[in-house]
Amino acid sequence: MFRNLFRNLTIAGLLFITSGCLLTSSNSTKESGVQVGSTTLRQIELGRTSEDWLLAALGPPTSRAAVRGPGNVELLTYNHAVARKSRGSVFLLFRGSSEKVDKNTTYFEVTDGIVTKYWTDT
């Protein structure tokens, strides 16, 4: 009897140890748009930097809109987003996930082909 109990406990222990708990996790990051860095912004001289320079440095804007009023004024918008996703699970016990998205938009006011103002919203 003691021999059977010991054998059964040994087998159960080995099965428990070898099966283990299956842990899984994954992380991913997806970036979209154009990130306008502080170093680039420091290069811009209001009233002197041209729209052509801005387009050469950053590429085409996400959107462009004419501003009504006196003068030839346009607003160029550059959107940037970073999405971070995390997932994890413990086999048959727990499953969870999270997602965080950081967004910022940089605006450039261009009057007659010259950058006159810029700002960033986060």
Instruction: Classify residue 109 by burial, with Cβ atoms within 10 Å: 0-12, 13-18, 19+.
Output: middle
| pLDDT value of residue 90 | 73
Tokens at residue 36, please? 């306008």
| pLDDT value of residue 71 | 84
| pLDDT value of residue 14 | 57
Q: Which residues contact 36 (CB under 8 A, 6 or more apart)?
A: 58, 78, 80, 106, 120
Q: Quick one: DSSP state of residue 121?
A: E
| Of 83, 77, 87, the residue nearest 32 (C-alpha) | 83
- pTM of the full predicted structure? 0.73
| pLDDT value of residue 13 | 61
Alpha helices per DSSP H over 1-122: 2-19, 38-43, 51-58
| DSSP string covering 34-60 | ----HHHHHH--TTTSBHHHHHHHH-S
| pLDDT value of residue 18 | 54
Residue spans of the chain under pLDDT 50:
none
